[in-house]
Amino acid sequence: MPQPSRDEVVRLRRLWEEHIHAPFPAGGADPRRQEVALYASWVGSMVEIALARGSLDRNLAKMLETRRAEGNQRVFRAAGELGEPIRSYVARLIAIEDLLAQLPVT
Instruction: Check if the beta carbon of residue 19 is closer than 8 Å to that of residue 72.
Output: no
Residue 10 to residue 90: CA distance in whole angstroms: 20
Q: How far apart are CA 53 and CA 58, in angstroms?
A: 12
Confidence tier at 27 by pLDDT (50, 70, 90): confident
- Per-domain residue ranges for the chain? 6-102
2: confidence class by pLDDT, cuts 50, 70, 90: very low
**Residues shown for the chain:** 106
Query: What share of the chain in percent tops pLDDT 90?
Result: 75
Other residues' Cβ atoms within 10 Å of the Cβ of residue 66: 9
C-alpha–C-alpha distance, residues 79 and 26, integer Å: 12
pLDDT at 101 over 60: yes
Positive or negative CA dihedral for 25, 91, 3, 62?
A: positive
- If you ran DSSP here, which 8-state letter would residue 95 be given? H
Task: Supply the pLDDT for residue 36.
Answer: 94
pLDDT confidence band for 4 (50 / 70 / 90): very low
Q: How confident is the model at residue 28 (pLDDT cuts 50, 70, 90)?
A: confident
User: Phi and psi (nearest 5°) for 103?
Assistant: -75, 150
Segment 20-33 shows an average pLDDT of 87
> Residue 1 has what pLDDT?
43
pLDDT at 7: 84
Task: Enumerate residues 6+ apart whose C-beta is below 8 A from 26.
Answer: 33, 85, 86
